[in-house]
Structure 1
Amino acid sequence: MSNSPLLGVEKTLVLLKPDAVSRGLTGRIVARFEDAALKIVGTKMKLLDAESTKQHYFDLEERLGAEIYNTTASFMQTGPVIALALEGVDAVAKVRKIIGGTYPDQAAPGTVRGDFAHQTRASSEVSGKAVMNLVHASGNSEEAKYEVSLWFDSSELFEYETLAEKYAY
């Protein structure tokens, strides 16, 4: 879609967190993005180290405090994550709608978190644990640009035409 005449085409980042990978939910989650006409233009699996976690969550400690940052960073390093660069019309907002609210027990049925995540807000607050909510998604267009460039070199992002682009648009 990069060369598409459609307005509002953008890229965004989604991370399938260690809980999504370990529970074998990656295919089911990715299918939801593809079903919504979002195109995968980059993908990789990675074990995060302290430095890459700090780069990705650079502002979390300042916004929410050291305890939240430390529990999130520790959780994100417990297993591999799968990074997806997705492209489509209003991709950032569309992805946010598909994944649902941050806290799984408050996410609407039909969303990734509402259907698959088990942790409650109370259980994470009481235990001091990171929210195990399966996915991270860029929060806005500026954040998406930063995060996509953090995770992918331009040589790792692909342009191609999907059947939906060819026939529906």
Structure 2
Amino acid sequence: MATLAKMGRTVAVPLLAKRLGIVTKSVRCMAYWNKDWKPGPYPRTPKERAAAAKKYGLRVEDYEPYPDDGFGYGDYPKLPRISDEAKDPYLPYDTPHNKRFFGEPVHVDADAMTEDRWNPTRTYRYPMNQMRLWFIAVMSGFFFLYWLGNKYTIFNPAMPKAYPNDGKKHYTFESTE
């Protein structure tokens, strides 16, 4: 019975879909190519600068591209570093898990500034130098214990194997008769 059901799905459904004009398989992928996401060239003139600001949905006064230093950011806007954790959690975002509105430009480091990762605006309880010092101190302590453990190894003391009648044959497989 299961074979008939499987055969019916593989034969009848495509024929029915073809007769009704239903497309069962996607003909074309709806995603863009990476070249479509690539920023344009660095704006040199005020006209190019205004066109780039319009492209990213910014005012010309607010638009500032990254410097043309060879990193390849092109005309992408230099946005302030505000992580998702620092944004208001109660706003009705279009994409709530990223805390973004539709058409909002994304920071270059947005993949690193999600809620569970790096937050550049966060102030820590201890200064970074003190955290580094404690890290080095703890790791040095573990290294010292590792070195000490390798220098003075612990092993089970064992005597040589004790056999009865040492050096003499103490078993036989021949019959005594």
| TM-score, scaled to structure 1 | 0.23
Q: Using CA pairs below 8 Å that are at least 6 residues apart, which structure has the higher relative contact order?
A: 1
- Between Structure 1 and Structure 2, the one with more strand by share is 1
More helix by share: 1
User: Which of structures 1 and 2 has the bigger CA Rg?
Assistant: 2
